[in-house]
């Protein structure tokens, strides 16, 4: 009788959560990143640092440190804390995570693995300080709750070459591209979405000022007027962030998406 009762009844089709994956690549030849002379702690950090504004994999043109996310989504996975490290054996005197993506109102855990002072300082899109932390000792860890959404600029006040971003969202549907430019956003409910790829930009606006500040500092150091660690160097700033969008639909299985930066 139970079987007969189901005859002729329309049963809604049930779709399982899907995933969005793909690659962000760069079109053409990637321009060279700016290089800055290191003023403070050069004996440990090295004399010069390349700024990782545009990191392109030479094998497949994949772009690292691009944030891909669903616009206007809600829910999704969330960690209790997100990591931001300063220094490791391969990347000393820099932010190991050049771009951090996280859920708003969760904690960001900042760790200094260098034997020099780092001072991670974040600013909201309105240029207001979000947090400003002094990490003077190797191994020191400080956690802060990030209550500001959107794009937060990150810098180390002690080192002009150390710059990055922290993006925070009201949901957990985002990913940061890896060394090959790949990303994956899992467990996305079926539906139509706007998928956004965000990149900080690689076109510095104040190259002349940066170059002049290095030249002036070098002259003062050679003349014995200042010590190298007292050099006042200009911090580079870039053009507006690059934002690409695609309209997508998630059903069962993976949705493959490709973004191209130019």
Run means of pLDDT, 10 residues per run, the chain, 262 residues: 38 66 97 91 93 97 98 94 92 96 98 97 94 96 96 96 97 98 96 97 92 87 84 89 97 93 96
Instruction: Using DSSP, state whether 216 is helix, strand or coil.
Output: helix
Instruction: Using DSSP, state whether 8 is helix, strand or coil.
Output: coil
CB 122 within 8 A of CB 166: yes
- At residue 248, the pLDDT reads 97
- At residue 60, the pLDDT reads 97
Tell me if 4 is assigned to some domain: no
Domain extent at residue 138: 17-261
- At residue 15, the pLDDT reads 56
Q: What is the CATH number of the domain that holds 49?
A: 2.60.40.420
191/17 Cα distance (integer angstroms): 10
Instruction: Give whole-number Cα distances, 258 to 53, 101, 196, in Å.
Output: 20, 20, 11
Tell me if 8 is assigned to some domain: no
64/33 Cα distance (integer angstroms): 14
Tell me if 12 is assigned to some domain: no
pTM: predicted TM-score of the whole model, two decimal places: 0.90
Instruction: Using DSSP, state whether 17 is helix, strand or coil.
Output: coil
CB 146 within 8 A of CB 162: no
Q: Beta strand 191-199 with 55-56: parallel, antiparallel or unpaired?
A: unpaired
Question: Domain count of the chain?
Answer: 1
Tell me if 113 is assigned to some domain: yes
- At residue 91, the pLDDT reads 87
Tell me if 5 is assigned to some domain: no
């Amino acid at each position: 009788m139970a079987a007969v009762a189901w005859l002729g009844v329309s049963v809604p089709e049930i779709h399982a959560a899907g995933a969005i994956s793909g690659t962000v690549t760069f079109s053409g030849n990637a321009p060279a990143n700016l290089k800055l002379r290191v003023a403070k702690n050069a004996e440990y950090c090295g004399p010069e640092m390349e700024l990782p504004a545009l990191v392109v994999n030479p094998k497949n043109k994949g772009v690292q440190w691009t944030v891909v996310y669903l616009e206007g989504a809600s829910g999704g996975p969330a960690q209790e804390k997100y990591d931001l490290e300063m220094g490791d054996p391969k990347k000393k005197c820099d932010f190991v995570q050049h771009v951090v993506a996280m859920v708003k109102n969760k904690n960001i855990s900042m760790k200094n693995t260098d034997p020099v002072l780092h001072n991670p300082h974040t600013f909201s899109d309105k240029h207001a300080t979000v947090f400003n932390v002094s990490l003077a000792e190797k191994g020191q860890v400080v956690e802060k709750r990030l209550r500001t959404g959107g794009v937060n600029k990150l810098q180390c006040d002690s080192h002009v070459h150390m710059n990055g971003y922290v993006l925070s969202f009201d949901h957990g549907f985002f990913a940061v591209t890896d060394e090959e430019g790949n990303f994956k956003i899992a467990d996305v409910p079926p539906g139509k979405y706007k998928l956004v790829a965000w990149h900080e930009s690689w076109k510095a606006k104040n190259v002349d000022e940066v170059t002049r500040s290095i030249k002036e500092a070098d002259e003062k150091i050679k003349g014995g007027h200042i010590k190298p660690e007292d050099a006042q160097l200009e911090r580079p700033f870039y053009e507006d962030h690059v934002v690409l969008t695609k309209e997508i639909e998630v059903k069962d299985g993976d949705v493959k998406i490709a973004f191209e930066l130019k």
